[in-house]
Amino acid sequence: MADVISKSSVFSPAISHHNHHSNVKKFPVQCSVTTKNQGKLAGFSSLRSSFGGVRTAVDQNRSFCSQKSRNSLSIHAKLGLTFNNAPKWWEKGLQPNMREVTSAEDLVDSLLKAGDKLVIVDFFSPGCGGCRALHPKLCQLAEMNPDIQFLQVNYEEHKSMCYSLNVHVLPFFRFYRGSEGRLCSFSCTNATIKKFKDALAKHGTDRCSIGPTKGLEEKELLALAANKDLSFTYTPKPAELETVPDLQEVSANVDTHAAAKESLSSSNKNPLSSPSTLKSSQESEEKSLATARR
């Protein structure tokens, strides 16, 4: 390694040797070398310092260090190469109607603010091969349906939240809309993308819902609030009290019931006349008519 470096003109120390290498040109490539074990070459690293531009040869057999610094010597230089951060696979091809959820509160607020718009929550993991294979098709579907909001939930960053929402398989999807709340939830892969398309065709049509936007279910909100790993607070809705009837209505109903009961008892006291009684009265009338004729 030292022989290779000694033949190159890339490395330059802080001290110069102009008398031997005054005609060497400067190069834009910059790096650093660290020597250990009594001046012998041990390795190199990228540190920041000035670059002299003078050629240097590192000898394996000869030490050019002082007695105090023989065990460690660093020749500092700059590394001129730069590396751009490549986008992650779940960040490629994103449409304006696709974004990543940052917290539980962000998820709840996004669902409540969506109104009657269809919202699809996509639970994924960076290490999930099925999620990665399905991502390009989701981007295409999002581009074809700009009125639908796609929310991405990174399972690795929000494991505790996913656990509270009972999400244990990936990739996983949930559809929400307006006052209807959750419409459906399922898991599908690139091979079963038809399941996703069928759900999109069924719930993707525009509609107006009556009532406020529901979002997550009550039990899910309570589970998120009870999770100590999340900074999410939720106040349960007060239970609806049963309406107490008016006292006047109660008294009127009591009077009506008492009157009906009294009429029933009076009818029982005066029963209808029996057939024998009617017959005797008829006979008495006939006798009175016969005596009148005589």
Beta-carbon contacts of 232 under 8 Å, excluding residues fewer than 6 positions away, are 103, 104, 105, 108, 224, 225
Q: Which domain holds residue 57?
A: 1-83
Of 5-19, 72-86, 123-137, 256-270, give the range with the top mean pLDDT.
Answer: 123-137
Higher pLDDT, 185 or 76: 185
Same domain, 167 and 46: no
Same domain, 8 and 137: no
**Distance from the first to the final alpha carbon of the chain:** 163
Residue 264 within a domain = no
Q: What is the tally of structural domains in the chain?
A: 2
pLDDT digits (tens, 9 = 90+) for 230-258: 999 998 877 644 454 555 555 566 566 66
- pLDDT in the model for residue 237: 76
Residue 124 within a domain = yes
What are the backbone dihedrals phi and psi of residue 137, each rounded to the nearest 5 degrees, phi first? -70, -35
CATH value at residue 219: 3.40.30.10
Beta-carbon contacts of 241 under 8 Å, excluding residues fewer than 6 positions away, are none
Same domain, 164 and 216: yes
| Token code pair at residue 208 | 């107006």
Residue 137 within a domain = yes
The CA distance from 197 to 201, in Å, is 6
Domain-ending residue, one of 49, 64, 83: 83
Same domain, 7 and 69: yes
Same domain, 62 and 97: no
By the 8 A CB rule, do 81 and 19 touch?
no
Same domain, 107 and 160: yes
Same domain, 78 and 118: no
Positions annotated as catalytic residues are 128, 131
**What's at 248, amino acid-wise?**
Q
Same domain, 219 and 95: yes
Same domain, 78 and 111: no
pLDDT digits (tens, 9 = 90+) for 103-129: 999 999 999 999 999 999 999 999 999
CB atoms within 10 A of CB 140: 12
The CA distance from 188 to 169, in Å, is 10
Same domain, 97 and 5: no
| Token code pair at residue 292 | 């009148």
Residue 262 within a domain = no
